[in-house]
Structure 1
Amino acid sequence: MAVSVDDVKKALCIDINDDDEVIQTYIDNAVEYIKTAVSETADLTQFKQFDYAVTLLAQFWYLNRDTDMKTQPYQVVSLIQQLKAKATFIN
Structure 2
Amino acid sequence: MSVTVDDIKKSLRIDLTDDDSMIQMYIDTATQYVLDAVDSSTTTAVLSKYEQFDFAVSLLTQFWYSNRNSDMKETPYQVVSMIQQLRGKTLV
Question: With structure 2 as the length reference, what TM-score do the two structures score?
Answer: 0.94
Structure 1 gaps of 5+ residues are none
Give the letter aligned to residue 30 of structure 2: A
1:1-91 matches, within 5 Å, as: 1-40=1-40, 41-42=42-43, 43-89=46-92
Task: Note the residue ranges of structure 2 that are not aligned, 5 or more in a row.
Answer: none
In the TM superposition, residue 79 of structure 1 has moved relative to its aligned partner by 0.4
Structure 1 runs (4+) greater than 3 angstroms displaced: none
Q: How many residues align?
A: 89
Q: Name the CA distance, whole Å, in 1 between partners of 2:10 and 2:22.
A: 15
Give the share of equivalent positions with the same residue, in percent: 57
1:46 is paired with a residue whose SS is coil
- Cα RMSD after superposing both structures: 0.8
